[in-house]
Amino acid sequence: GESVGLHLPTLSVQEGDNSIINCAYSNSASDYFIWYKQESGKGPQFIIDIRSNMDKRQGQRVTVLLNKTVKHLSLQIAATQPGDSAVYFCAEIYDYKLSFGAGTTVTVRA
C-alpha cells in the first residue's frame, strides 16, 4: 500500500496568497522527498526535493519543510499565481524507486 499520503485532496487559494500543501509519510528509511506538479493532460513535473537529513529547502517561490519527528512534509508556494493551478504530489525515494501520494488539487481564484 501507499506509504505517502496528502492531508487534503483539494485546496482553493486566492491569487497572491501563499499556499501550503501537506503530506504525511510512513517510511522513515526514505532517502529523499520530492514534490511534483501535474497540469491537466500532462506528465508530472519536478518542483523541488529535500534530502532526509534536512529540515528545509527553498527554491524559486517554493519552500519545502520536512518534520521527521511527526513524519510530515509540506510545500509552501509564495504569492500563488493562476499558473500554479495543478495537482501536487509528494513522493519519496527509497531504493531508487518513487512512491507517490494521492495528490492535492490546487485551484487559484482570481
Partner 1 sequence: NAGVTQTPKFQVLKTGQSMTLQCAQDMNHNSMYWYRQDPGMGLRLIYYSASEGTTDKGEVPNGYNVSRLNKREFSLRLESAAPSQTSVYFCASIIRGGREQYFGPGTRLTVT
Q: Is 59 in the site for partner 1 (CB under 8 A)?
A: no
Question: 44-65 burial by CB neighbour count: b if 16+ within 10 A, else e?
Answer: beebbbbebeeeeeeeeebbbb
19 strand-pairing partners? 77
Which stretch in 13-21, 43-51, 54-62, 67-75 sits in contact with partner 1 by CB under 8 A? 43-51
Q: Which run of H or E residues covers position 104?
A: strand 104-109
- Please identify which residue in the block is written with the cell numbers 486566492: 14
- Among 46, 55, 58, 67, which residue sits at the site for partner 1 (rule: CB under 8 A)? 46
**Site for partner 1 contains 24 (CB under 8 A):** no
Cβ pair 48, 57 in contact under 8 A: yes
Complex with partner 1: residue 91 or 108, whichever CB lies closer: 91
Q: Is the Cβ of residue 19 or residue 36 nearer to partner 1 in the bound state?
A: 36
Nearest approach in angstroms of CB 103 to partner 1 is 6
Q: How far apart are alpha carbons 110 and 27 in whole angstroms?
A: 38
Would you tell me how many other CB atoms lie within 10 Å of the CB of residue 67? 12
Binders of partner 1 in range 67-106 (CB under 8 A): 89, 91, 93, 96-103
Q: Which residues bind partner 1 (CB under 8 A)?
A: 2, 4, 9, 32, 34, 41-46, 49, 89, 91, 93, 96-103
